[in-house]
Amino acid sequence: MVRYIRFTVAATLAMFVTPQVHASDIVMSNPQLPDAPEPVDNANAVVPADVTLYDDTRYSDQLYWDVLTDAYKGRSEIESVHKAFSDYPKESVRVAVLDGGFYNSPDMNWQGGVNLTSADTDQGIQVGDDFRQYDPDTCPTTHGQAVGSIIGATTNNNFLLAGIADVDLYGVRVLGCNGSGLLSEVATGIRWAAADPDLEGQGYPTLDEPVDVINISIASNDPVDCSNTDLQPAINYADSRGVTIVVSAGNDSRSSADIAPGNCDNVMTVAAVDRSGSQANFTNYGSSVDIAAQGVDVIAASGTDGNGTYQTSRWDGTSFSSPIVAGIIAYTQSLAGISTPQTVRDWVSASATGVASQSNSLGRGILNAPLMVENAFGPQINGGVTAQQVLADPSRCNNALFTQHSPVSIPVCELYELTYDGTVSIPEDYELMVFEGDADNPLAAEPDNLIEGSTEAEFVFRLSSPFDTDYGVQVCKQDLSNCQGSLKPLDVATTIKCSDSESVASAKRQSVQ
């Protein structure tokens, strides 16, 4: 396969051929784990007395569910949204896990899947076979099951783990028993999860409709330009079908800019922090990273022991940060509805808390579930917003007698109120705020730019220089610690012109020439 770049220089047509990397030449695998999973003794597991939300026996060890504290900033506060929305109606969400090492267990309800890797044909495992090929003796990897259990293990069934979201899970086996596979097969897995009709008739089951979220805890073993492989077109196709793709950044303590799929467009690339919120010493980092989540001591499924007892282990790696993000995305979509991938990426970008310490860029910070849900129920301002002079209403101009005889000086010509072409909603503990900016202090949602804020959508505020200043509105926390959506430009409609002598107490209604 080749890609042709055609261009003309000085009226001469030149043909250049840029070789496209053959996907079959690129080996991909689960990112090398910093440490082997540490098994957790489940034989005598009981629910601690102080755990009241769910009865899953390892629930209290799922630390990323807990609330933030000064000491533990790596938490995503998932429990908070589960409590707040326990009775809220939820939509069905479908999630595909591209990986290897899947199996049946009482904690996992796989809705379906497919084996797409040819890595184990020597063991008689063919493309199109069942995706659940885990065997503790002959095919011992459980990586995909661990990832899936973080996202969607059955919750509150008094068995091991609580999944972040109640979803329909699909296992897409693209890695073999040794945890490796080919990029071409990963690309096919993405298309399978996106219900690409071109895959019909290939000898394996296909989906009628695309899933909503894909998690890929896989990385290329060598530097790869994603745009020069089959991976990016597959991702673009899934994106066009409304599928949000979440990928792990990798565990090589290096920039993820040349590691696929973390360097691909139209994905959310996830780095790892520990429970204190500090950068994990193994995580990849850099400009291609979008967000972070806990990736150290993450409790997840890990196969069976010699007696056939289902196990869990403490796993380290960005492989387990990624499903935390994918799970929060799935849970949020179950509340707020299925949205476009770009909208979901915007939610994630606006829903981070700070990293406790870091040596390199970890994107926006650590994904916070309550912020994610708050942002998903926005944007809070829909349609255009205009600042209209209060005296533009003729009935108010007829009240000039009051303003002329008021004992208090009122700059009535500088008083404005907001009008809306659409709607605005202001959550509890938030205010609708008006900001200003000029050449010396550009418009931004910062304390120095704040003019006025209110918990009500309609309020009066003063604009002293409506012709020389830029204005905007945004819904923000009262202390400006978090703002929802983007700063929306504010149109200023000045229809009343006042002389200096009249501007303090009264005004004459006239057109601005």
* Distance, CA of 226 to CA of 248 (rounded, Å): 15
Selecting among 80, 319, 334, 503, the annotated active-site residue is 319
Q: With beta carbons less than 8 A apart as the criterion, state whether 219 and 28 touch.
A: yes
Question: CB-side exposure of 230: number of CA atoms within 13 Å?
Answer: 17
* Distance, CA of 293 to CA of 273 (rounded, Å): 6
Selecting among 143, 274, 302, 316, the annotated active-site residue is 143
Selecting among 56, 76, 82, 99, the annotated active-site residue is 99
Tell me, yes or no, if 99 is annotated catalytic: yes
Q: With beta carbons less than 8 A apart as the criterion, state whether 161 and 54 touch.
A: no
Token representation of residue 415: 């008083």
Contacts (Cβ under 8 Å, ≥6 apart) of 512: 494, 495, 496, 497
* Distance, CA of 371 to CA of 329 (rounded, Å): 12
Please list the alpha-helical segments (H only) found in 241-368: 318-336, 341-349
Tell me, yes or no, if 122 is annotated catalytic: no
Tell me, yes or no, if 468 is annotated catalytic: no
Tell how strand 180-182 and strand 27-29 pair up.
antiparallel
Q: Could you tell me which of 158, 125, 159, 131 has the C-alpha nearest to residue 145?
A: 131
Q: What's the DSSP call for residue 453? A: E
- 168 DSSP β-pair partners: 94
Q: What's the DSSP call for residue 447? A: G
* Distance, CA of 281 to CA of 274 (rounded, Å): 9
* Distance, CA of 292 to CA of 355 (rounded, Å): 9
Catalytic residues: 99, 143, 319
